[in-house]
Amino acid sequence: MGGFSAVNDDILQNILFRLPASSFASAACVRKSWNRVCNRVLAYPKLASALSRNPSFPDAVREVLDKVLSGPIRPQFAIASIGTQFSLEAAHQLISRKLGSKVPVVTGNACGIIGRDAITNTMNEVRWRNMPEEDGPISQDSDKFNRGIVLIVGYLPGLMVDAIPLLRLKTDPQFSLIDRFLKEIKNYTAYVSGLIEPAGIIMFGDQNVDMTPVLAEIDCIMSEETVIVGDASSRFICNSGHNSHHYDSDLYFFDAVALVFAKDKNKPQGIGETRFHSTLSAGLVPFGPELRAISVASKGTECSWMTVSMNGFPQLIDSQRLLDDINRELNDEGAELYIGVIQKRPSSIEQETMEMRKYLAFYDVLGGDDEYLVIDGVGVQPGDTFLFYHADSSTARASCLNAFEKFKVLRPASSSSNPWSSFTAGGAQVVGGGKGGVFGGLMFSSHYRGEAYYDSFPIYGNFPGIPIAGLVCSKEIGRDSATSSVWQEAKEESPARCSLHVCTSVYLVLSYIPPSPNLQIN
């Protein structure tokens, strides 16, 4: 018998590996022997990502979809970030239709996008301004303002993925249903894995919702082994895939959504393990004495007016004079100023135990007068203590290098001497190689950080050959006590946890640990 029936499995595997996703899926249905070889190809995890700055909306979406589906992949989830000049609803519909209704897809607006160009494969870090410069010259790139998309699609054998929303009843809009949200995450994890906690969570929070208390509850409930990253300043759309219940948008507001990654208790033999690794690069520096909020008045959810004093002293401080002194000290009247507030609040899900949550929350300083300090947002209460913080490029640069060093231990030993050497990761790129290693990265970077090609360095510098995708936002989610450790040094007490950051880049890389040789798929 001639033709393909005479081709051995190794040659067939080499051919199938080069097929685009749609052709690969068709090939898996041809005959049992082909399906077996296709399953061997899909025994390794894969992230596929692409970025397009094409100002034409349909062309940009087509470019990234064609790129991420140019090789074999069985999509389990997708994350798309787009510029505000593109239609969020239309982009989500096009991507969901292409990937299938059972694939959890999160599509959101971003302040910028990070990744490799779908056509040229060059690395891009794009940060958009809020609006074009009206008085500036019109450049050749003016038509690209806030136009672009980055898409990442993942396939992680051995893990199950679903999207679980944080809801808020429209009939009682004051509080998010945090208890229900956490129970659904735990119930889903227990159902698919038999464990009580997932391996990782990627969250997206609505830009009009204060995610600080929500993240404080999650951080307290979930063990340190669960990696949590994300964006808390998004406008997003999500379809929940095939595992979740469907929620009536007429009854609920969607405050956030969590992509939950849980180990598959029915994982086939011969499948290795995907691991999540996260770190962050902080860009804030605390300064000045510890202050205390004496009285607080709020305007809806927009901003708060505070009278303040130096902690331990009764006299109120002239806030305008305080801000003038700070600007002179920093020698920068336009410096980005924040306050980092230690908040001790009763748990919203363990009220009967009077359990207290202690966390660090950041607020943008808007201004002040001789009586009040004005901050963006609400949540500060009388008696809360705080320090001033300012954005600092030297701190960002140093912490970025620290993040690079943390990920450096994940590099193959052969490339440890040269961070820019070519790196092919973990069998996700080398079919049947049985190798392990980092095979993809995702990052959430503050739009207040600016240096091009700098923020992606911890991932790109260590693993230049892997797929990378990222989005630029204004509130970054990441579990790390590095920021609060500064507060610990200042207060000489146990630190408050901090999971919601500003002026920070949060990094996530995924690595693959192959099974023992006698268990690998043949």
Q: Over its length of 522 residues, how does the chain's per-residue pLDDT go in tens digits?
A: 455 555 676 777 777 677 777 777 777 777 777 777 777 777 789 999 999 999 999 999 999 999 999 988 889 999 999 999 999 999 999 999 999 989 999 999 999 999 999 999 999 999 886 544 444 444 445 446 789 999 999 999 999 999 999 998 888 777 778 999 999 999 999 999 999 999 999 999 999 888 988 998 899 889 999 999 999 998 999 987 654 456 667 788 899 999 999 999 999 888 899 999 999 999 999 999 999 999 999 877 789 999 999 988 889 999 999 999 898 888 876 778 999 999 988 887 765 566 788 889 999 999 999 999 999 989 999 999 999 999 888 888 899 999 999 999 998 765 544 433 333 333 334 323 346 799 999 999 998 776 555 789 999 999 988 999 999 999 999 987 544 444 445 455 556 788 999 999 999 999 999 987 665 555
Token pair 């009077």 is found at 354
Distance CA 147, CA 142 (A): 10
Strands 468-473 and 437-446: parallel
State pLDDT tens for residues 65-108: 999 999 888 899 999 999 999 999 999 999 999 999 899 999 99
The CA distance from 285 to 108, in Å, is 30
Phi, psi of 451 (to 5 degrees): -65, 115
pTM over 0.85: yes
**C-alpha R_g of the chain:** 24
Q: Are 469 and 123 in contact (CB under 8 A)?
A: no
φ, ψ of residue 334 to 5 degrees: the values are: -100, 20
**Among the listed residues 184, 167, 185, the one whose alpha carbon sits nearest the alpha carbon of residue 176:** 167
Query: Rounded to the nearest 10 degrees, what angle do helices 88-99 and 57-68 cross at?
Result: 30
Q: What is the 3-state secondary structure (H, E, C) of 106-123?
A: EEEECCEEEEEECCCCCE
Longest alpha-carbon distance in the chain: 95
Mean of the per-residue pLDDT values of the chain: 83
